[in-house]
Copies of this chain bind each other. A is one copy, B any other.
Amino acid sequence: MRISELSTATGVPIATIKYYLREGLLPEGERTAATQATYSERHARRLRVIRALIDAGVSLAEVRRVLDALDDPPESPHELLGAAHAAVTPSAAGDLDTAAAEQLIRRIGWQPGTCDDDVVAAVARALEGIARAGFEIPDAVMSAYLESVRRIARAEIAGVPTESPEAAVRYVVLGSVLIEPLLLALRRVAEQVASAERFGGRPPIAGRH
């Protein structure tokens, strides 16, 4: 297909497609004339992945790293997950104290060496922000967090397709990034539902299901 058709098929403006081509995020099409090229369904698939990542708030530099992991996947799914997380987790700052974070994540089965340092550092940074704001998480709530992420992660990892490496790559890399906005949005809905249950609020409208 031509670039205009690629644009129609994916909903991505032509100028944006040209930008991705220049940046090397999208491989060149097959040249059919000096000023024309033709694009395949593979281009469209990749373009949709790029758009989905950017719409999910992933930066261009991170998109590039995720695409690299898709293009050149590590051998085991476990390493692949590490690569996906590395692509979207900021590098650990030097002087971060991770002791409290490590103590916490032991409760979800973490032991030294099972996780990338940057992911542990992300927990430490989040805890630091919470503490700095003078916010305390009640024990019962923290237990709910830990049990829930363990339940989520087990279901996710059990669902990793192993029949083809390409399917595993897509599942791990995209799932890791794209699911985040969904989980956060679902939590907000669930909070409003639970809040209406506890405190009252606009009552549910009867008769509509």
Contacts of A51-93 to chain B: CB distance below 8 A: 51-53, 55-56, 76-79, 81-82, 85, 89
Query: A21 at the A/B interface (Cβ < 8 Å)?
Result: no
Is residue A42 contacting chain B, with contact meaning CB distance below 8 A? Answer: no
**Which of chain B's residues has its CB closest to A199's CB?**
B78
Flag if B55 contacts A150 (CB, 8 Å).
Answer: no
In the complex, the answer to whether B178 meets A130 with C-beta atoms within 8 Å is yes
Cβ contacts A157-188/B at 8 Å (1 or 0 each): 11110000000001100111011111111111
Question: In the complex, which residues 107-147 of chain A have their Cβ closer than 8 Å to any Cβ of chain B?
Answer: 108-116, 119-120, 122-123, 125-130, 132-135, 137-138, 140-141, 143-147
**Residue of B whose beta carbon sits closest to that of A85:** B188
A205 touches B141 (CB 8 A): no
CB-defined contacts of A156 to chain B, threshold 8 Å: 141, 144, 191, 194
A105 and chain B: residue at smallest CB distance: B189
A208 in contact (CB, < 8 A)? yes
| Complex alpha-carbon distance, A83 and B129, angstroms | 21
